[in-house]
Chains A and B, each alone.
Chain A
Amino acid sequence: MTTYKGINGFAVQSVATDPSPSDEGQVWYNNATYAFKLAAVTTSGTWASGGNLGTGRYRMGAAGTQTAGLIFGGAYPSSPYDLSSAEIYNGSSWTSTGALPSARRGPGGAGTQTAGLAFGGKLAPTGAALTTTDKFNGSTWTNVNSMNTARGMMGSAGIQTAALGFGGYTAAPGTSNATEAYNGTNWTSVANYPASTRDVGGCGTQTAALGFGGYVTAVVATSNSWNGSSWTATSSLNNAGQGRGGFGTQTAAVAAGCASGPAPAASTELWNGTSWTNSTAMSNAVSFRGAMGTQPSGLVAGGSPGSITSTEAFTGPGSPVTKTITTS
């Protein structure tokens, strides 16, 4: 009888814990779960459950990565309506960390879990828009110089010392096209976003950002790239919607979930630098999620309807993944 050892010259390793699936084609036996496993490469994106948030929320700020995430502020469906609390993620579970100095919904977010930035936001009771900016050092927030234009629900990109905020929702009458760049000390107004848009998705860096979707006078599918000095229209999303969870870069982005009317959608679209394509939908139809990470490895947390605690981790196409070998 032909055996694996006979073909390959060595036997299948028996291990108690799955190794990293970085070596495509590698086969092993997991003696804890009694299953043969295979290191493979994903052909399409997939969503898996992540650790649940301590406090459900939507319209929160977010920063970081799939294994070192940060969410802060956000909206809650009953009193107190706006949250100041923040949580950090280690790839498996969320832990409370230092709260924002003040509650807000819809702040912009940039940076990492240990060097984050929260900017702008809105207050539910009055509809007031904020210019407030706070820096996070991994445990506490410090108030720093404010933005020029008060608004929340904007697109955001970048890091703590080089961030970008664009579009957003001001006090009445509504949407903004302002774009502002932060250099670690001050905010500077730069070229306006092509249309006054709130709940616009965003990702990338201060000099190479992407803005997509949102609400103008209705939900839109437009997409725009930023080169550090000006915005250029790109090909549009396949589905119009606001409140997308955006993460990744200007050439490899993900738009996860959205509100396209009263009902949220689970749709996911991938950007390759040229066009948007539909990908595997999330498990839950949720909008206004906190989003962080890259196209190969992203995370979305919380969201609406309600103020859910669930999170979902995205593994993009072409990423290493462990598969269980079955006989069927």
Chain B
Amino acid sequence: MAYKYCVAECWGKGFITHDDASKYQVSGFPGNVWQIPANNQDANLWVNKVAGSFKTKAEAQAIVDVEVTAAQAAWDALPDEQKQQPFNKQRPTAIVLE
């Protein structure tokens, strides 16, 4: 399936409505990157509704990479006793956009 990407800040309730979700899938990624199906008029209107800024896949991937790298650096900076707790979350992994 082909996708398009945008950047928009989720303000909370009303950002994605059940009406939106019943028509198309919106998937979120770090850096306020949102993935929508390409060639979908309703999804394009949603980007307009949320004042989103369209990004190419490469631009969106770069934004996600920056966020993941920062999260990895934050994890690396944790004290060792934090990293060694089995119940603590694992080191963030890279995300590859489809």
Chain A interface residues toward B at CB < 8 A: 42, 46-52, 58-59, 75, 77-78, 81, 92-93, 105-106, 122, 124-125, 127, 152-153, 169, 174, 198-199, 259, 262-263, 266, 280-281, 283-285, 288, 304-306, 310-311, 313, 315, 321-324, 326, 328
Q: Are B13 and A93 in contact (CB under 8 A)?
A: yes
- A93 CA to B92 CA, complexed, in Å: 29
- Taking CB atoms, residues of chain A closer than 8 Å to B18 are 42, 46-48, 313, 315, 321-322
Q: Are B87 and A153 in contact (CB under 8 A)?
A: yes
Q: Are B13 and A47 in contact (CB under 8 A)?
A: no
Nearest chain A CB to B93's CB is how many angstroms away?
4
Do A323 and B22 form a contact, CB below 8 Å, given A283-B27, A283-B28? Answer: yes
- A81 CA to B93 CA, complexed, in Å: 21
- Taking CB atoms, residues of chain B closer than 8 Å to A284 are 27-28
Q: Are B19 and A324 in contact (CB under 8 A)?
A: yes
Q: Are A49 and B16 in contact (CB under 8 A)?
A: yes
- Taking CB atoms, residues of chain A closer than 8 Å to B90 are 262
Please name 30 pairs of A and B residues whose Cβ atoms are closer than 8 Å in the assembled complex, sorted by A: A42-B18, A46-B21, A47-B16, A48-B13, A48-B18, A48-B21, A49-B12, A52-B12, A92-B12, A93-B12, A105-B87, A122-B87, A124-B82, A124-B85, A125-B82, A152-B87, A153-B87, A262-B90, A266-B27, A280-B25, A281-B27, A284-B28, A304-B89, A305-B30, A306-B30, A310-B10, A311-B12, A313-B13, A323-B19, A323-B22
Nearest chain A CB to B79's CB is how many angstroms away?
8
A44 closest partner in B (C-beta): B22
B81 closest partner in A (C-beta): A125
Nearest chain B CB to A41's CB is how many angstroms away?
11
- A-facing mask of B68-91, CB < 8 A → 1, else 0? 000100110010011001111111
Nearest chain B CB to A44's CB is how many angstroms away?
8
- A59, A81, A122, A281: which contacts B25 (Cβ < 8 A)? A281
- Taking CB atoms, residues of chain B closer than 8 Å to A124 are 82, 85, 88
Do A321 and B81 form a contact, CB below 8 Å, given A52-B10, A263-B93, A310-B10? Answer: no
- Taking CB atoms, residues of chain B closer than 8 Å to A315 are 18
- Taking CB atoms, residues of chain A closer than 8 Å to B13 are 48-51, 92-93, 313
Q: A280-B21, A305-B92, A322-B18 are in contact. List 7 more A-B contacts (CB 8 A).
A: A47-B16, A47-B18, A48-B21, A77-B74, A127-B87, A266-B27, A280-B25
- A106 CA to B42 CA, complexed, in Å: 39
B70 closest partner in A (C-beta): A306
Q: Are B12 and A106 in contact (CB under 8 A)?
A: no
- A54 CA to B41 CA, complexed, in Å: 34
- A288 CA to B86 CA, complexed, in Å: 14
The 6 lowest CB-CB distance pairs between A and B, nearest first, are: A49-B15, A46-B21, A284-B28, A51-B12, A52-B12, A49-B16
